[in-house]
Amino acid sequence: MTTFEPDTALPLQPPLVAAAAPSRWRRLGQTLRMFVRRSPVSAFWGCVAALIILMAIAAPLIAPYEPLKSDFRAMTKPPDGRHYFGTDQIGRDTLSRVIHGSRASLTVAIGAVLFGTTLGALWGLASGYFGGRFDIVSQRIIEFLQSFPDLILAMAIAMALGAGTGTVIVAIAITRIPFGGRVIRSVVMSLKELSYVEAARGLGASHLRIMARHILPQCIAPYLILATTHLGVAIIIEASLGFLGVGIPPPTPTWGNMLADSLNAGLVPPWWLVLFPGVAITITVLAFNLLGDGIRDILDPRLRGGAGGLAIVAAKERVAA
């Protein structure tokens, strides 16, 4: 072990698709059991996250009322036995709207992470692997993108493209690209010097094959850590966009829209209209953040017990760079 030592921020893992696995399902079961044993708190919040996703899928079945239906006999009613979370100024049931709001939040967050973080990761993979001029140009572009505070860039893009679910996803996805690019690039840079990659190259494997078969699998762990952490950030940005009126347009219930609406419900906003959507955002973000922490602890033990959070990952990179 004198020849190389993984010296970048993220360590190297044994390949995830290891040989001699008895069966995929049993391996999954084992992994899950290990997860629960090693970080019970994260496992609990992982279950919460799963429940929230289930709630979003089954929203029409769970919600007691139609989220868009106004009941003019019950306008701005505080919580009671009929409407557990009260009603808004045109008599829509807050509980149903909070439940349906999870759909918008999760669609946008998952969509943005799938597009943005993945695109960034692939970009980072290519720029780290090829290096040279392509890498230099890529790094500059990524730096330009990172020179915008997330929310401001997302706001500008969402405003320019006009309101809609798709545009909000694109807007948030673009702000996610630099993070994926940076992290995966640094992993790839350290990987490509390793002897097994050189061996593959010596055997005459093409660049595409080396990237896909030998480097990509090693990037899955950092990617997963990155993606779960980004989900929480994406949810907060989505809510902020909704709150500022450039999110998914109004009749659709989203948590951000509901909070924005509550400010129009009179001089003193009714507390139940403010409280519940915010609690929903907080719990969802908390769930994804802590799940991400747990995944990081398992996949990346060197960061265990260390600081979490995106900004912190970014700061560590800057210090290392």
Partner 1 sequence: MYSYVMRRLAFGVVTIVGVSIIVFMVLRILPGDPLVALFGPEGFTKLSEAERARYMAELGLSDPLVLQYFHWVGDIIRGDLGRSFFRAESVGDMIWRRGPLTAEIGILAVMISWVVGIPVAIVSALKPNSLGDNISRFFSILFLAVPGFWFGMLIVLALLFWFGYRAPLAGASLFTDPWNNLQLVIGPAIVLGLGQGAYIARMARSSLLEVIREDYVRTARAKGLSRRPVIRLHALPNAMLPVITLSGILMGFVLAGSIPVERAFGTPGLGYAMYNAVRERDVFVMQNLVFLFSVVFVMLNILIDLTIAWLDPRIRYR
| CB of 224 closer than 8 Å to CB of 295 | yes
Amino acid making up residue 298: I
| CB of 285 closer than 8 Å to CB of 270 | no
Of residues 142-181, those binding partner 1 (CB under 8 A): 143-145, 147-153, 155-157, 159-162
Residue count, binding to partner 1 (CB under 8 A): 56
Indicate the residue among 194 and 283 with the shorter CB distance to partner 1.
283
Amino acid making up residue 279: V
133 binds partner 1 (CB under 8 A): no
| CB of 47 closer than 8 Å to CB of 64 | no
Binding mask 260-299 for partner 1 (x = CB under 8 A): --xx----xx-x--xx-xx--xxx-xx--xx---------
User: Phi and psi (nearest 5°) for 93?
Assistant: -75, 120
Q: How far apart are CA 227 and CA 291, in angstroms?
A: 11
Residue that is written with structure tokens 């955002």 in the block? 281
Q: Which residues contact 171 (CB under 8 A, 6 or more apart)?
A: 153, 154, 155, 157, 158, 161, 241
Q: How far apart are CA 90 and CA 97, in angstroms?
A: 13
Indicate the residue among 211 and 227 with the shorter CB distance to partner 1.
227
Options 11-19, 28-36, 198-206, 233-241: segment touching partner 1 (CB under 8 A): 233-241
Question: Least separation, in Å, of the C-beta of 242 and partner 1?
Answer: 10
Binding mask 175-214 for partner 1 (x = CB under 8 A): ----------------------------------------
Query: What is the full DSSP assignment across 237-251?
Result: HHHHHHHHT-SS-TT
Of residues 240-259, those binding partner 1 (CB under 8 A): 240, 243-246, 259
Radius of gyration of the chain (CA): 22
Indicate the residue among 134 and 271 with the shorter CB distance to partner 1.
271
Binding site for partner 1 (CB under 8 A): 140-141, 143-145, 147-153, 155-157, 159-162, 232, 236, 239-240, 243-246, 259, 262-263, 268-269, 271, 274-275, 277-278, 281-283, 285-286, 289-290, 305-309, 311-312, 314-316, 318-319
